[in-house]
Structure 1
Amino acid sequence: MKTLMGKRVLFLALLTALALNTTVFAAEKSKHNFARWENSISQFEKQDQQQGVQAGGILFVGSSSIRMWDLKKYYPDLPVINRGFGGSEIVDSTHFAERLILKHKPKVIFLYAGDNDIARGRTAKEVANDFKQFVSVVHKALPETRIVFISVKPSLSRWKLADTMKKANKLIKEQCAQHDYLAFADVWDPMLGKDGKPRPELFKADGLHMQHEGYLIWKKAIAPYLPQN
């Protein structure tokens, strides 16, 4: 009888813990201000209406490092689509995936995010889980679309967060290695100098956003994952 009672108490405790975790997750999501991006997303939708939507392109999504990348200049002969919105996190690209990504039915998606996420307090594990959720949402609709995660970059202004960023990169790289339609493009190591720190010449005055030289490194890093036809 005592054993049965003990099992029932343990079961109730597990249910309570599960309910608390679910509540915390829902609360965290509700606190995230997705509405701040509504204007940016609406502008992208207007572009789609004006220019039309064609399947099979190469879509770049993520934060300001994507938004500020002049993709048409770097890839004049490829069907590139820029859907970067500055300041965004992985969860933002996931939340707006249907409006931002899925309707384009891209052959390849390049995602850069995680940088702002960590700067705002997310842990490496949380960033990796956010990426997993992004993949789940995209692959549910587009199971054969390749998703390439551009590693969180080192920067002068956020160098104090380097350890967390490296851990996040490691966890996401491990995820990518387990899936045929995922890939990891490393920009971390090539952006470091001989002293093991970010190369100053790659950055604008703010120490965060990149100059042309930085984007040349990115271009080389993602080259193996661009469609050949």
Structure 2
Amino acid sequence: MRVVQSSIALLLAALLAALLPGCAGTGPAATATGVAPVPDSAPLDPVSSPQWAADMARFAAEDAAQPPPAHPVVFTGSSSVRMWATLAEDFPGVPVLNRGFGGSQLRDATWYADEVAVRYAPQRIVLYAGDNDIDAKRSPEQVRDDFRTFVARVRRDLPGVPIAWLAIKPSPARIAQLPAQQRANALVKAEAARMRAVDFIDVATPMLDADGRPRAELFGNDQLHMNARGYALWRGVVAPYLR
């Protein structure tokens, strides 16, 4: 009888030991590579504007008129992507596809992830967003959470595709928002470091002068959107990630 009781005790101890790791905390468990999976995402707010439906229709018409390259590097996000007119010239030999829609926020890229990225079966996604979010009084924490949700949405259909986030750029027109932009960048950078195949590309720091202010010579007349010098700077920072 003692032998049987001892065996049962050992079996219960083994079962308890197996269950404990899953109950040890509320954070995400590490993968075999030591990198945490994408955390559970928060509920996504509605799109910021109904006008994006017209942009999606325009993308569909462009695809019908001229089929996009197979497995492209998709650049998407707000006007800093949409206005990158030299994208193909800046990355020769890379099958790039511009699917930026100006004025959009990060959550819009998530709502329209299929139209701007997933359906192209991209080899990589490069996202610029957050600039308009901060301007619309969304908090850095909301930007971080919306970034997490974007990654989770893409991973649902494209579990292995690399994703890169272009840091929110500093601009003279929005210099009052610089502290919030920098906090959002720091939060997203920390979040990206926990995820598999997600890069944080710091295009923001080189756009600051020695005093930590946005370099006016990188911008057009509105001091919000970049000029050719601004895009040349971005090209130099982004190129190594596309090799």
Question: Which TM class, normalised by the smaller chain length?
Answer: 0.7 to 0.9
Q: Spell out, residue by residue over 1:88-114, the C-alpha distance to the aligned partner (whole angstroms, 9 max, x if none).
A: 001111101112211101111110000
Question: Which residue of structure 1 lines up, in the alignment, with residue 74 of structure 2?
Answer: 59
Distance 1:51 1:141 in 2: 24
Please point out which of 206, 215, 218 is paired with 2:234.
218
Please point out which of 93, 103, 122 is paired with 1:106.
122
Question: Which residue of structure 2 lines up, in the alignment, with residue 41 of structure 1?
Answer: 56
Secondary structure, in 3 states, of the residue corresponding to 1:35? coil
Distance 2:71 2:114 in 1: 16
Equivalent AA in structure 2 for residue 209 of structure 1: H
Equivalent AA in structure 1 for residue 76 of structure 2: V
Distance 1:72 1:222 in 2: 13
Question: Which residue of structure 1 lines up, in the alignment, with residue 22 of structure 2?
Answer: none
Please point out which of 172, 183, 195 is paired with 2:211.
195
Comparing 71-80 with 177-186, greater Cα deviation is found at 71-80
Distance 2:239 2:91 in 1: 11
Q: CA RMSD in A?
A: 1.4
Secondary structure, in 3 states, of the residue corresponding to 1:83? strand
1:131 offset after TM fit, Å?
0.4
Equivalent AA in structure 1 for residue 235 of structure 2: K
User: Residue 164 of structure 2 contacts residue 199 of structure 2 at CA under 8 Å; is this kept in 1?
Assistant: yes
Distance 2:237 2:138 in 1: 26
Q: How many residues are matched?
A: 200
Distance 1:115 1:33 in 2: 13
Q: 1:208 to 1:98 in 2, by over 3 A?
A: same
Task: Kindly name which structure, 1 or 2, has the bigger radius of gyration based on alpha carbons.
Answer: 2
Does residue 88 (structure 1) correspond to residue 88 (structure 2)? The answer is no
Return 5+ residue gaps in structure 2 as ranges: 1-42
1:180 offset after TM fit, Å?
2.5
Return 5+ residue gaps in structure 1 as ranges: 1-24
Distance 1:129 1:33 in 2: 16
Larger relative helix fraction: 1
Equivalent AA in structure 2 for residue 86 of structure 1: G
Q: TM-score, normalised by structure 2?
A: 0.79
Q: How does 1:24-173 map to 2 (within 5 A)?
A: 29-30=45-46, 32-70=47-85, 71-173=87-189
User: Residue 127 of structure 1 contacts residue 168 of structure 1 at CA under 8 Å; is this kept in 2?
Assistant: yes
Comparing 81-90 with 96-105, greater Cα deviation is found at 96-105
User: Residue 48 of structure 2 contacts residue 108 of structure 2 at CA under 8 Å; is this kept in 1?
Assistant: no
Comparing 123-132 with 65-74, greater Cα deviation is found at 65-74
Kindly report structure 1 stretches of 4+ aligned residues shifted beyond 3 Å: none
Indicate the percent of aligned positions where both proteins have the same amino acid: 40
User: Residue 53 of structure 1 contacts residue 103 of structure 1 at CA under 8 Å; is this kept in 2?
Assistant: no
Structure of higher RCO (CA pairs closer than 8 Å, 6+ residues apart): 2
